[in-house]
Structure 1
Amino acid sequence: MTNRLAADVLICGAGAAGLTLAIDLARRGISFRLIDKAADPFPGSRGKGIQPRTQEIFEDLGVLDKAVAAGGRYPPQRTYHDDGSVTDAAMAEPAEPTPAEPYQMPLMVPQFVTERLLRDRLSEFGVDVEAGRTLVGFEQDGDGVTARITSAEGTETLRVGWLIGADGGRSFVRHALGIAFPGHTLGVRAIVADVALEGLSRGLAHRFARGGAMSEQVSITPLAGTDLFQIQGPVPMDGDVDLTATGLTALLARRTGRDDIAVRSVAWASAYEMSARLAERYRAGRVLLVGDAAHVHPPTGGQGLNTSVQDAYNLGFKLAAVIAGAGDDILATYEAERRPVAEDMLRLATRLLDAQTQGAMRRGREVRQLDIGYRGSPLTVEALDRRRGLRAGDRAPDARLHGAAGQPSRLFHLFKGPHWTLLVQAGGHGAIAPRANLHIHVIGPAGDILDTSGDIAAAYGLAPGECALVRPDGYVGAILGADDTAALDAYFPALGVVAHPARPVTTTEVSPHG
C-alpha cells in the first residue's frame, strides 16, 4: 500500500461540524479535503441558536461579528391563552455579560446563514467545499485510509491520513465502521418550516397552546436577519403532513383559532421524528466521528448544533498535533472528553422536551454551555492543591487587561489563534523555555500584560510565580506552582509543543513570543 497522501485529512460532511473542523485545520496549515454529497448547501434553519460558549469559539475562528450582524437576539415569547389573555416572557433567563463571561445570551442565526458564514471564512483560507461528492467506501490500515468518492465526473480513489465522519445522524461513515448508535425515539414527531407569512408581528415569538394539549401547540418565531418565520409544532406520528403554503395555513388556523395568519410561501420544511442517540465509540483507528454522526438530540434547548461545533473545536488541535508528530495519546482524549459532554446534553435536551410537553420549559444557564469542562481528563495537570476557584480542565475565563504599551485588551484576544497560551504571574524564580506554538505572557509590572482591572486575579487566582496553561480550544490544561515549571517539560512533548534551544525565560521577564 502506498504511503503517498492526497491530503492529511478527508472530512465527509460540510455541515457546521465539518466546516468548523475545516477552518481549524486550515489555520494550522493542515492539508485536507472537505466533501459533501449535497449539490447545494443546506437551505433550512433547524439549528438556529448559537449559545454563549459557541459564540466564544466563533470569536476565535473569526466569524462572530459577522454572525451577530447576520442574526439577532431572541425576541420575547408571547403565549396566547384560551381565554384571550397573553403572557410575555423572555425565551431564556436573562443574564448580563461579565469580564470573565463576555457572552451570556443565545444568538439567533438561521442554520443556513451560520453555515454560509463558515463557508465564507473557509474560503478566506483558499479552500472551498467540494459539493456533489459522495463517500461510497473506505479501507484503513496503520498508515492511512483509502477512500472512494463518486461524483458527476466519476469515481475517485484517494489516500489520506485520517477520515472524519461529519456526515449527520444517518452517517455512512458510522455505519461502515459498524459502530452502534444506541438510544431511542422520543415518541414525538414534529414539523419545522421556514416560511413567509402575514398576520403576526416580527417583534415577538408567538406560541399557541389551545386547551393545553401538547398535540395542539404551535410556535411561530421570526428568523433574525431574514424576512421569514419559523413554524414548529408536533404532528401525528403516522400519516402524511401537508407542508405546502396551503397546508401550513390550514394547520395554523386550527391551532391558533385565527383566520388572519396566512403562509404565502415555503422556503424549506421538514417533518421528523425526535430521537436521542449516542455512538458507542467516536473513533475506530484512523477514522473519527464528529457532530450528529456521533450524537443526535431533540431540538429543545438548542444544544445539537452547538455540541457539534464544540466537538470539532476539541478535535482540531489534537488531530493537528498528531499529524505534526505528537503521540496518539492526545487524540485518545477526544472521545474521553467529548462523549460525556454529549451524554449530558442528551439528558438536558430530553428533560427540556419533557418540560415543554408540560408547558413549563425554561432555558437557564445550563443551556449556555459555559460550565462544560474536562476536569479529570488525561490532558489536565494540576500540581497545586486548588479546592476552590479555577481548576485544570475548566473553561479559561476572559478578562480585561492592558498591554505594557498601554493599550486595552482582553485575554481572549491573547488566546485567539491555534497556539497554546501560558499565563505566568510574575514574582517566582522558575524558568520557562520558549516553544513553538506557545505564547508566554507574564502578568505584572515587569511583565507584558498588566492586570489593571483586577479581572485576571479574580478569575485565575494565581500567586506569584504560578502559571496557567490555556489550551488552543480555550480550556485550562494545567495550573502549576512557582517551582513546578519542570512539569511543563514533561507535559508538552506528547502535545507536539517543542522547546527551542534558546535560553529560558524567567517569570519576571517578557517572552519574545508574548
Structure 2
Amino acid sequence: MLIVGAGPTGLTLACSLARQGVGVRVIEKSPGFQTGSRGKGLNPRSLEVLADFGITERLLGAGREREVFRKYFDGEFITDTDPHEDIRRTPDVPYPRGLFLPQTRVEQALREVLAGYGVEVELGCELAGFDQDETRVTARLASGEEIPADYLVGCDGGRSTVRKRLGIAFEGSGDRETAMVVGDVELEGLEPGYWHQWFSAKGALLLYPFESTTTWQFQANPERDADGRPVEPSPEGFQRIIEQHTGRTDVRVVGTSWISTWRVNVRLAERYRVGRVLLAGDAAHVHPIAGGLGMNTGIQDGWNLGWKLGYVLTGQAGPGLIDSYPEERRPVAARTLDITTAAMTTVAERSRTPGVGLEVVRSDDTTGLNVGYRWSSLATDGLDGVLQAGDRAPDAPLTDGEGRIVRLFELFAGSHFTLLAFGCPAPRLDGPVRGFAVDAGEDPLYDKDGHARRAYGIEGPALVLVRPDNHIALTAGSDGEEAVRGYLRRLRGL
C-alpha cells in the first residue's frame, strides 16, 4: 500500500492502515517536514477521529479551545468577544469546541502514532509516474526506484501529481487576483492573549498567537503594485501592512519563519478513483479558508478510506467496499465547497460593520458533527429514529458492573464494528465486530442516566451496528440478529 503525501490526510490514512496490520509506505516529495503553521484549527469531529488514535488529549494541551477575539475597525479598538463561551460539553459530544494549534503539531502527533507501528515517512521521495493493471500499481520515483503496491492513494495536495497523471479534471474556478498573504512571525508590542482582528475598507489583518510559543500567524490582504496586482509577501511588507491597519509603530515584526500567499481556489476532482489509484484531501478538493475546513476535511477523508482499504487488504471485505469511499466523501466535499464559499462571502460583507469578526462563519456546518452518509449504500435502517444509518454515532457514558464509567467512544476505538444491544442480549458474532449489551443480557453495561438512549433516540429493545469510523451502519429491532449477520456477509461479498 503506497501513500503519496505526508500531510494530515496521508498520515491519518497511514495510521488507520498500519493499525490494521497493513504494510504501508508513505512518501513525501519535500526533503524535510513542513514548518509553517498553515491550517490552525481542528474541528470537533476531527478531535473525535484523533481521539480514536489516542492523541487528542495531548493535542488539547498544546493548543487552545477558547479564544478571545479582539476586534478593531479603521484602526480603533471596538470590543473583545469570546464566540465559544456559550459552548458546553455534553454526554454525546466530548469535544464541543474546536482546537486552535498549528498544523505542524497535528502532523507530528500523527507521525509519532505511525512510528509506533514501525512506519516512518520517507522524505525526499518524488513520484514521477505509475502504471496499474487489475492486480497492482507500480509507482516510479524520480530516483528510479519502482514501488509495487496493491493500491496507491494521492494525498499530495492541490497540485497533485497523482491527479494529473490520472488525467482527472479538477473542476471549479480560481482567482489569482483575490489573495491573502500568510506567514508565521515573531512580534513585539502586541498582547498575546487575544486573536487580533482588524477590519476596514482597506481589507483585513488577522494576528493569531499560538499557545506556548512566541509565534503568531499573520493573515492579511496583500499589498498591491501600481497596476493593482498583489505584491509578493515579505517581512518588510508584513510590517507595512501592520502599520497601515493598526496605525501603530510599536508593533514590530522581529522575525519570520514561513511566508506564503493564498489565492482563492474552489475545485473538486471529477472522480476520486481510477482503478487502484485514489485521491484524498486537497488532491481531491480545495476550497476557501473560511471556516477552517481544509485540514479537517482531509483528515476525515483519510478516516473514511482507511478502514475500507484495510478491510479489503486483510480479506474482511470485498474490493467493492472501496467504491463507497467516493460515494460518501465526494458529496461531503461538494457541500464543503458551498459552505466555505458562502462563509467567505459573509466575512467580506459583514466585516464592513464595526465589531463584526470571524465568528460570523461559525455554524453547525463547521463542526463536522453533522456530517453523515444517509445516502450511502452502506446505510441500512430498520428503525425510524432520530438517528439514522449513516449518521455520526454519538458518545455517551455507560457504567460497568463495578460502577466504573465506560464511554461509548472507548468501545468504538479501533478498527472493528461495534454492536450495541439496547435492552436485549448481544448476539455472538464472528468476524470484526464486538458486541455489548446495554441494560440486559450477560455482563451488561448500564445506561443509568439514559444518556445513550437519548443520544441514539432509542426507547425499546434495539440493535445498533456502528462502523469502524464511528458512523451508524445499521439499526434494527431486538430480533434483528440476522439483519446484522446479513450486513457483515454483504461486506465480504462486495
Give the equivalent residue in structure 2 for 1:510: none
Is it true that 1:116 corresponds to 2:108 in the alignment?
yes
Mapping 1:215-364, distance limit 5 Å:
215-235=202-222, 236=224, 238-244=229-235, 246-325=236-315, 326-358=317-349, 359=351, 361-364=360-363
- Distance between the aligned counterparts of 1:349 and 1:239, measured in 2? 23
Note the 1:36-435 alignment, pairs <5 A. Answer: 36-82=28-74, 84-92=76-84, 94-150=86-142, 154-186=143-175, 188-209=178-199, 212-213=200-201, 215-235=202-222, 236=224, 238-244=229-235, 246-325=236-315, 326-358=317-349, 359=351, 361-384=360-383, 386=384, 388-427=385-424, 432-435=427-430
Partner of 2:490: 494
SS at 2:184 equivalent: strand
Paired letter, 2:149: V
Alpha-carbon distance in 2 for matches of 1:407, 1:179 = 52
Aligned to 1:508: none
Identity %: 40
Structure 1 stretches lacking a partner, 5+ long = 1-8, 498-514
| Partner AA of 2:268 in structure 1 | L
Deviations for 1:323-361, whole angstroms, at most 9, x for unmatched residues?
A: 123222211110011011111111111111111112153
The verdict on how the C-alpha distance between 1:493 and 1:79 changes in structure 2, with shifts beyond 3 A counting, is same
The alignment covers a number of residue pairs equal to 479
Q: CA deviation at 1:272?
A: 2.4
Q: C-alpha displacement at 1:239, in angstroms?
A: 4.4
TM-score, length of structure 2 as denominator length: 0.93
Does the residue aligned with 2:6 lie in a helix, a strand or coil? coil
* Unaligned segments of structure 2, at least 5 residues: none
Residue type of the alignment partner of 1:258: R
Normalising by structure 1, we get a TM-score of 0.90
Cα-Cα RMSD: 1.8
C-alpha contact (below 8 Å) 1:401/1:409 kept by paired residues: yes
Q: Which residue of 2 aligns with 1:21?
A: 13
Q: How far is 1:92 from its partner?
A: 5.0
* Cα 1:427–1:489 shift into 2, 3 Å: closer
- Give, as a single letter, the amino acid of the residue that structure 1 aligns with 2:400: G
Moved over 3 A (4+): 82-85, 91-94, 461-465
In the TM superposition, residue 242 of structure 1 has moved relative to its aligned partner by 3.6
Asked if 2 retains the 8 angstrom alpha-carbon contact of 1:93 and 1:363, the reply is no
CA contact (8 A) 1:322 1:330 kept: yes
Secondary structure at the aligned position of 1:73 is classed as coil
The yes-or-no answer on 1:476 pairing with 2:468 is no
Residue 442 of structure 2 is aligned to residue 443 of structure 1: no
- The residue identity in structure 1 corresponding to 2:323 is A
| Pair 37,354 (structure 1): closer, same or farther in 2 beyond 3 Å | same
- Deviation by residue 1:158-184 (Cα, 9 ceiling, x = unmatched): 211000000000000000000000111
Post-superposition offset of 1:247: 2.6
Q: Is the 8 A contact 2:422 2:440 kept in 1?
A: no
Deviation at 1:69, TM superposition (A): 1.4
Deviations 1:199-252 (A, max 9, x none): 11111111112xx32x431111112242201110112472432412x3311221
What is the CA-CA distance between 1:91 and the residue it aligns to?
A: 4.6
The question of whether the paired residues in 2 share the 8 Å contact of 1:422 and 1:470 is answered with yes
- Cα deviation code 1:98-139 (max 9, x no counterpart): 101111111011011111111111111111100000110100
- What SS class does the counterpart of residue 382 from structure 1 fall into? coil
Alpha-carbon spacing, 1:196–1:91, altered in 2? closer, same or farther (3 Å): farther
Tell me if the contact between 1:63 and 1:117 (Cα under 8 Å) persists in the aligned partners.
Answer: yes
What CA distance in whole angstroms lies between the structure 2 residues aligned with 1:270 and 1:393? 39
Judge which range, 457-466 or 178-187, deviates more.
457-466
